[in-house]
Amino acid sequence: MYFAALLARTEDGWEASDTELDDVETLSDLADLAREASPEDDTVLVLIEQEDAWFGVVRVDGEDDPRIYVSDAAAAARSAYGELLLTDELLGREPGSDGPDLDSLNLDGTEDGESEEEDDDEDGPDADAVTHGPVGDSEILDDLGVGEKELRALDAEDALGAIADALGASEVLETVR
């Protein structure tokens, strides 16, 4: 189960709307969705949490590139919604490096005289493996009252509520929960 909401900053304060991510396929789609929530190019936050396992914040300021913070990259990587946020750039990978080329894989372990029982640990850990822990811009909410330390200390279970409290938007967020 996941929860996603848009918080758009307006002259009158924060406005919240819940959002379905089923039709969102890329980070660009998510950024476009956020921009539609604020016709004045104000700050829009996309808040996402998944089963109290991880949370993510995407900040869109007008036409600027979205800024992203994910509380636990490994947990988010197991989620279709988390995969939207875990871009190659965010994970420090070369674009398009989704792993080895299928043509270079030894799929049955029996080619070139290898037995099926042999492990291929010679190369060490997978360079593309996603580690546990936060990734992204931990200063994403600094100017809004949630510093890096506070953001990193948030528990996924109540993170969105704590962020909304700090923004003064807890009431509007609760209306869409």
Structure tokens given for 39: 């016709």
Region of residue 136 (phi > 0: left; psi between -120 and 50: alpha; otherwise: beta):
left
Top-confidence residue, 97 or 115: 97
Is the pLDDT reported for residue 4 higher than 50? Answer: yes
Is the pLDDT reported for residue 17 higher than 60? Answer: yes
**Mean of the per-residue pLDDT values for the chain?**
83
- Residue 121 has a pLDDT of 44
Highest mean pLDDT pick, 39-43, 107-111, 123-127: 39-43
Secondary structure of residue 96 in the 3-state scheme: coil
pLDDT band for 80, please (50, 70, 90 cuts). confident
Task: Check residue 134 and report its DSSP letter.
Answer: -
Is the pLDDT reported for residue 97 higher than 80? Answer: no
- Residue 124 has a pLDDT of 35
Tell me the mean pLDDT in the region 23-44. 90
How many C-beta neighbours within 10 Å does residue 3 have? 17
- Residue 102 has a pLDDT of 40
Report d(CA 14, CA 167) in Å as an integer: 8
Tell me the mean pLDDT in the region 40-53. 91
Strand partners, 58: 46, 68
Place of tokens 């992203």: 68
- Residue 107 has a pLDDT of 45
pLDDT in tens, 36-46: 988 788 999 99
Under 8 Å between Cβ of 34 and 76: no
Is the pLDDT reported for residue 72 higher than 70? Answer: yes
pLDDT in tens, 139-151: 999 999 999 999 9
Place of tokens 């360079």: 127
Secondary structure of residue 112 in the 3-state scheme: helix
Helices (H), the chain: 27-36, 73-77, 80-85, 88-91, 148-153, 159-167, 170-176
- Residue 39 has a pLDDT of 75
Report d(CA 122, CA 29) in Å as an integer: 40
Report d(CA 163, CA 74) in Å as an integer: 22
Secondary structure of residue 167 in the 3-state scheme: helix
